[in-house]
Amino acid sequence: MGSGAADPDKPSGTVEGMAGSTVADLVGRVLAGRYRLLGAIGSGASGRVYVADDVRLRRRVAVKVLHAALAEDAGFLRRFRSEAQLAASLHHPNVMAVYDWGEDGVPFMVLELLAGGSLRGMLDRGTRLSPAQAAHVGGQVAAALEYAHSRGLVHRDIKPANLLFDEHGIVRVADFGLARALAEASWTEPAGTVLGTARYAAPEQATGAALDGRADIYALGLVIVESVTGTVPLVGDSPLGTLGLRQASAIDVPESLGPLAPIVARACAAEPADRYATADEMRAEIADVAESLPPPGSLALAGLGEAGDDPHPTQVVRPQVAPPLFDQDEVAVRPTGRLPVTVANVPRRSRSSAPLVMIGVIVVAIAAVAFVLARPTAGATKAVPLLIGQNKIDAQQAAFGAKFLFDFEFRRSDDPKGFVISQSPEPGGFLAEGSAIHVVISQGPKPIAIPDVVGKTEAEMHTLLDPLFVPHIIPTTDEAVPAGQVIKTKPGRMAQPDAAIDVYLSTGPKPRVVPNVVGKTFDEAAALLKQNQLGAKRGDEFNDTIPVGTVIRTDPIAGANAARDSAVFVIVSKGPDIVVVPDFKGKTIEEATALAATAGVQVQASGVVGAKHAVKAQDVDKDTKVKRGTIVTIFF
């Protein structure tokens, strides 16, 4: 950390020279004329995260500012824009929301501000998760991965620093798409850091092969091990050494994981084919194991620290030397010796006070016994399970399974609809069996008006709906609305912010089935096609078997689909192709051959043929009508 001296040419509170980072401290700067950076809360190889004020919507957000050097990398910026848009389209209770992104001298992303800190922060404080807590967190992460994988997005960098918690202990997966964008950057990272942190990388990442969701599953297995034990399995002296170890052998799963051990062993198999095929398959097995474990209890969240709290956001204060930032990519170094134990000084009582103290103890003991004997008999006292973050059905089942009643109410909030946002008593407290746990279930944000997009084009619809909702296009035939225009939306008038909106987009009228008009006259065929809202275009051709004026076939054929009002080709018979046999007598072979070609017949010579010889006779008389191509024998 720098000395903290303010630079007179920079906004108040700006600090330069952050150790281990190439990102300048931007405290006080307003990005894109909207996001005022208040304080840094995290730093890593890719950039720095700030608490910020969204001055337009008047809310607190987190802003991740990437390295300034990346702003000069055209390849990175192209991938960054694409990946940021894709990440912003993800809407899931366990995926960090991306509100905005842009470039203002440096690339940045605007994210939801989560007050609970990261799993990395918890582990660096010495906090370890129980197997039940690890199952609770791992199941949520697996659900987020399944959601993203189903949309073709692989995270590539699952690690404790990218698993953050809100104030209710619900985990969010951060940085979707960022690892892929950075992978294409030509910029070299500081201090030899490895993109897609090698400590959590799957073995196949060393081969350069295309990665799929099974690489994320491998990383999640390693995170679960570290969350319980505090260490990451199979880590070598270098990134390549680590990947080499993982290619050579499977991880040794610690017994302390309990029933999670078989799940982690499969998730961290060296061969991708031996792992779970999908994250949802892993989530289902974690859920099965969680039922056999005790309630997870509340998590000791790390929190944001002082940067997250600004009691006087409009007051300008003198810059102070900030504590070292938490580096999300740095391997934590923990003290090897024991921390000194602080013993409180207890003031000595005089001898004369001892009898009074004894009398007080006896009175309190008698009162406690009387209270226990007098109170009504209650059921066994049990620990209250963690219900926050679960949906209503799961929370109710968890309460009943722990032999508690379930009492609930609904309340509007920014949390996802249908999820428990608070409970009383709090998790980890004690309550008599049969007593009720009262929970508050989110109704989601207050509904807002849906812009009128009926009759708009698809591009116009996206311009109106994308900032507020997630449009889901449903192609629909319509007799009145032209193709490419919106027919309706569902819901039609109001919906919660960021809700999925079904947009029915016209593909034009329903296709018509071409009727069978073979054997009819052209006029009859045209009339029948008109009844089916189709036109008719005539074509004629010779046919040896179909009478003249009769329809031979149509294009498209009968039974096929054709666009309404489109023309169907109707092929009508002209009957056989008839020609007249010419007179070949007196002609030389050359003259006879040329005459036959002109007339549409063929000749076959018989007798002595030569330049001075002429045709004496023919087997088909002249002026005879025959089919085109008939063979006429000529005699020399």
Q: Is 157 a catalytic residue?
A: yes
CA nearest neighbour of 70 among 215, 154, 195, 205: 195
Rounded distance, CA 603 to CA 587, Å?
12
Position with higher pLDDT, 573 vs 339: 573
Residue 179 carries which side chain, given as an amino acid letter?
Answer: A
For position 378, what pLDDT does the model report? 43
Rounded distance, CA 39 to CA 320, Å?
11
Q: What is the pLDDT of residues 303-357, one digit of tens each?
A: 875 444 443 333 333 333 333 333 334 444 443 333 333 333 333 333 344 444 4
For position 329, what pLDDT does the model report? 40
Instruction: Tell me what the pLDDT averaged over the chain comes to.
Output: 80
Best-predicted range by mean pLDDT among 8-22, 438-452, 568-582?
A: 568-582
For position 140, what pLDDT does the model report? 96
Tell me what the mean pLDDT of segment 7-21 comes to.
Answer: 33
pLDDT higher than threshold 60 for residue 34: yes
pLDDT higher than threshold 80 for residue 12: no
Rounded distance, CA 216 to CA 509, Å?
45
Q: What is the pLDDT of residues 113-149, one digit of tens each?
A: 988 889 999 999 999 999 999 999 999 999 999 998 9
pLDDT higher than threshold 60 for residue 373: no
Domains present along the chain, CATH in parentheses: 30-290 (1.10.510.10), 385-442 (3.30.10.20), 448-506 (3.30.10.20), 512-573 (3.30.10.20), 578-635 (3.30.10.20)
Find out whether 606 and 588 touch, Cβ atoms under 8 Å: no
Rounded distance, CA 604 to CA 634, Å?
6
Q: What is the pLDDT of residues 68-101, one digit of tens each?
A: 777 677 777 777 777 777 777 788 989 988 888 8
For position 366, what pLDDT does the model report? 54
* Banded model confidence at residue 502, pLDDT cuts 50, 70, 90: very high
For position 26, what pLDDT does the model report? 85
Q: What is the pLDDT of residues 147-193, one digit of tens each?
A: 989 888 888 889 999 999 988 889 999 888 676 666 555 444 443 33
Position with higher pLDDT, 462 vs 445: 462
% of the chain residues with pLDDT over 90: 44
Rounded distance, CA 204 to CA 249, Å?
13
Rounded distance, CA 508 to CA 512, Å?
12
Position with higher pLDDT, 1 vs 462: 462
Tell me what the mean pLDDT of segment 616-624 comes to.
Answer: 93
For position 595, what pLDDT does the model report? 94
pLDDT higher than threshold 50 for residue 377: no
Q: What is the pLDDT of residues 233-273, one digit of tens each?
A: 888 777 777 877 788 777 888 999 999 999 999 999 988 99
Q: Which residue has the tokens 């800190």?
A: 117
Q: What is the pLDDT of residues 211-221, one digit of tens each?
A: 889 999 999 99
For position 444, what pLDDT does the model report? 80
Tell me what the mean pLDDT of segment 517-523 comes to.
Answer: 95
* Banded model confidence at residue 208, pLDDT cuts 50, 70, 90: low
pLDDT higher than threshold 60 for residue 612: yes
Supply φ then ψ for residue 218, to 5 degrees.
-60, -50
CA nearest neighbour of 419 among 454, 452, 386, 394: 394
For position 106, what pLDDT does the model report? 85
User: 3-state SS string over 101-169?
Assistant: EEECCCEEEEEECCCCCEHHHHHHCCCCCCHHHHHHHHHHHHHHHHHHHCCCCCCCCCCHHHEEECCCC
For position 460, what pLDDT does the model report? 95
The one catalytic residue in 157, 166, 175, 415 is 157
pLDDT higher than threshold 60 for residue 425: yes
Tell me what the mean pLDDT of segment 279-300 comes to.
Answer: 91
The radius of gyration of the chain's CA atoms, rounded to the nearest angstrom, is 40
Query: What residues contact residue 370 under an 8 Å CB cut-off, 6+ apart?
Result: none
Question: How many residues in the chain?
Answer: 636
pLDDT higher than threshold 60 for residue 10: no
User: 3-state SS string over 225-240?
Assistant: HHHHHCCCCCCCCCHH
For position 107, what pLDDT does the model report? 85
pLDDT higher than threshold 50 for residue 426: yes
Indicate the SS3 state at residue 437.
strand
